[in-house]
Copies of this chain bind each other. A is one copy, B any other.
């Protein structure tokens, strides 16, 4: 069987976990690329990939699949700098949490390089190769935005890679739809977590917290440079979602302040019913919205 190669650029939490999870995938050799000596040594010690390099640009002409796992600015720089070094016919992926800006940047690639935007809906509240874990993707969603020239062969290959990494499903969508929904399901959760942690009460409340507090604030210790990029690059979709939350909190607060139990009870009933409906849909396994079809 012909020997093929996957190059994973950046071995942080996601890149390191992907390299580990892809071990043994078909006839592919996994090559990892790092920038720091510290990450290099950790990657070698943990055997995160079959080979580790400091020079991804030298690997590009031989790489059948390239997975870009840097931060958004790193991905965009890399695409621009190396746009003519990718192997013709190769599949290039990224894994970052915004897609419109990345797919725009990828339009600099030659037509015979197939760029597919990806977003594994997996993470941890800690980052870096130290926390890389081959099981990170188990039962999570793998969001996929095909490019204008993506081939069925590449989409099928991506599907097999996702299965090997134990993703729960592969959800195909558009960059715009992705960025709008992620603003709500992911970015807003991070803004809530940091906003809650900004309170003076935070460091007084030890002993008074339950599961809901630990859950809501879990992601607050975030990677600041990464999330600064993610939030600002998706400001267009994120701002209206934050505004909507501000308004809704304001409405709840007015109902509580006025002691209007009837209004408050009616508002809580609607929200609780919506959450129950969502839970029921999940239990039934209707986890994929009809407008987003899994890959064939």
Residue numbers of A with Cβ under 8 A of B are 121-123, 140-141, 143, 169, 171, 173, 178, 180-182, 184-186, 188-199, 201-213, 215-222, 224-225, 227-229, 231-232, 235, 238-239, 241-246, 248-250, 252-253, 256-257, 259, 261, 264-265, 267-272, 274-279, 281-282, 286-289, 291-292
Contacts of A215 in B (CB 8 A): 189, 215-216, 218
A241, B275: Cβ atoms under 8 Å? no
A208, B232: Cβ atoms under 8 Å? no
A141, B210: Cβ atoms under 8 Å? yes
- Which applies to chain A's interface (DSSP): helix, strand, loop or mixed? helix
Given contacts A195-B249, A203-B278, A256-B242, contact A209 B121 (CB under 8 A): yes
Q: Can you list 30 contacts pairing A with B, beta carbon distance less than 8 Å?
A: A122-B210, A140-B210, A141-B209, A141-B210, A169-B207, A171-B207, A185-B212, A185-B213, A186-B210, A189-B212, A192-B192, A192-B196, A195-B245, A195-B249, A198-B270, A201-B241, A202-B275, A203-B277, A206-B281, A206-B286, A216-B216, A220-B274, A221-B279, A222-B268, A224-B269, A225-B265, A228-B261, A238-B256, A246-B249, A246-B253
Nearest-Cβ distance from residue A49 to partner chain B, whole angstroms? 25
Contacts of A250 in B (CB 8 A): 246
Nearest-Cβ distance from residue A247 to partner chain B, whole angstroms? 9
A210, B185: Cβ atoms under 8 Å? yes
How far does the alpha carbon of A82 sit from the alpha carbon of B73 in the complex, in Å? 68
Of the listed residues A225, A249, A257, the one surrounded by the most CB atoms of chain B closer than 10 A to its CB is A249
How far does the alpha carbon of A282 sit from the alpha carbon of B219 in the complex, in Å? 16
Nearest-Cβ distance from residue A198 to partner chain B, whole angstroms? 5
Partner of A235 from B197, B235, B257 at Cβ < 8 Å: B257
How far does the alpha carbon of A173 sit from the alpha carbon of B204 in the complex, in Å? 12
B169, A241: Cβ atoms under 8 Å? no
A143, B208: Cβ atoms under 8 Å? yes
Contacts of A278 in B (CB 8 A): 197, 202-203, 206, 217
B178, A208: Cβ atoms under 8 Å? yes
How far does the alpha carbon of A141 sit from the alpha carbon of B121 in the complex, in Å? 32
How far does the alpha carbon of A64 sit from the alpha carbon of B81 in the complex, in Å? 78
B269, A141: Cβ atoms under 8 Å? no
A196, B188: Cβ atoms under 8 Å? yes
Given contacts A189-B216, A265-B228, contact A245 B207 (CB under 8 A): no
A252, B194: Cβ atoms under 8 Å? yes
Given contacts A178-B208, A207-B141, A248-B195, contact A256 B274 (CB under 8 A): no
How far does the alpha carbon of A196 sit from the alpha carbon of B123 in the complex, in Å? 21
How far does the alpha carbon of A288 sit from the alpha carbon of B227 in the complex, in Å? 32
